[in-house]
Amino acid sequence: MGAWSGVGVMQTEAFISTTGTLRVQWETRNERVPGQGIFSVVLHSGVSGRSLLPVVEHRGTGRATTYVSEDPREFFFVVDAKHLDWSLTVEEGVAATAPDTGRR
């Protein structure tokens, strides 16, 4: 659905989620001032612009995957990063069920 990277503050372009389920993969690196790197990502409604929920709040370098469940709609992210480089990828979640193997 989208991939972004940068330094500092960024508002991503809007994207539409048809399921409302998002997989967000992020990474921070190259902390310029040791112990001072801050990374936050907030999900916003692309309709009203209001903030919906914090997706990432992290200090220093690292990486992780976060899952978000919201009503389907248009979204965008606001990224705020200090003293480090960052990258962010968002993918649409797909509903799935595991086959019943009959084992208990």
**In whole angstroms, how far apart are CA 91 and each of 2, 26, 60?**
7, 12, 24
Cα torsion 30, 88, 23, 55: sign: positive
* β partners of residue 80: 40
Contact by Cβ (8 Å): 88, 24:
yes
User: Is 2-92 in CATH node 3.40.50.300?
Assistant: no
- Digit-by-digit pLDDT tens for the chain (104 residues) are 899 999 999 999 999 999 999 999 999 999 999 999 999 999 999 999 999 999 999 999 999 999 999 999 999 999 999 999 999 999 998 766 667 776 66
* Cβ neighbours for 85, distance < 8 A, ≥ 6 positions apart: 5, 6, 7, 28, 29, 30
Given this model, what pLDDT does residue 49 score?
95
Contact by Cβ (8 Å): 23, 1:
no
